Amino acid sequence: MPWYSWDETLDKPMRISLISSPIRSRNSQTRPSEGENRQARLEFMLKNHYLKSHHIGLMLCSFVLAISIAGASQGPQGGVLSGQITDQTDLAVGGVQIRLRGLSTAVIRASRSGQDGSFSIQDLPPDSYQVRLSAPGFREHAEVVLLGENQTLNLNIRLRVALLPETIIVTPTGNERRVGDLAAAVSVLNEEDIHRSPALALDDVLRQVPTFSLFRRTSSLAAHPTSQGVSLRGIGPSGV
């Protein structure tokens, strides 16, 4: 509301208007705009998402750590059979065929020794195992070992050199003669030759011998003189 004051210089009253600034109460603050509300909601959502992700990450790390600790406490599962293979002069023997057979679990494993003669077969259940070793030029080695649960058993095996095979020939006179002592050429079919042969009948295996021939008059597999004949170096069974 305007009021008046006396001006002595002008000798007349002077009107003075007072403009008062509005006084705002605490409840009459300016409301935030829609953009500010949207920004606040976005910041809240991002903060909430970060907290959830951080919580899930901590849970996953704790789970993986628990599994790792449990696995480390259990250690390797199954037994281990390892060893070293040498000959009679203590030289390493490589390429040895190693076969394991469980006597009660029926577990069968196979391996070969390295160039340094060492071998290792892992993840074996507890059992008694038959160990068989074979290598060209050496006698076959066999033994039975007992392997406990999660046990590591080390074997030191020494192979013995195999003796050279010797063939004995029975001559027509009934005397036994060594092949090297005979002046005539001798062909020998041993057990391995028979097993390796693709022949289905035994007389077909004999065809592998040089100068030996066999002919059948019928398709019968029975060895009857009237159904098949034999010739060696052109001479029949009767010597003619």
Tell me the residue range of the domain where 111 lies: 79-158
In a domain, 179, yes or no: yes
Q: Tens of pLDDT along 113-143? A: 999 999 999 999 999 999 999 998 899 999 9
> Do both 194 and 220 map to the same domain?
yes
Q: How many residues in total does the chain contain?
A: 240
Query: Band of the pLDDT at 178, cuts 50, 70, 90?
Result: low
In a domain, 10, yes or no: no
> Do both 86 and 151 map to the same domain?
yes
What is the rounded distance in angstroms from the CA atom of residue 158 to the CA atom of residue 97?
Answer: 14
Query: Which of 41, 74, 107 is the endpoint of a domain?
Result: 74
Instruction: Lowest mean pLDDT of 9-18, 90-99, 105-114, name the range.
Output: 9-18
Q: Tens of pLDDT along 140-160? A: 999 999 999 999 999 999 999
End-to-end CA distance of the chain: 163
> Do both 182 and 154 map to the same domain?
no
Q: Write the single-letter amino acid at 170.
A: V
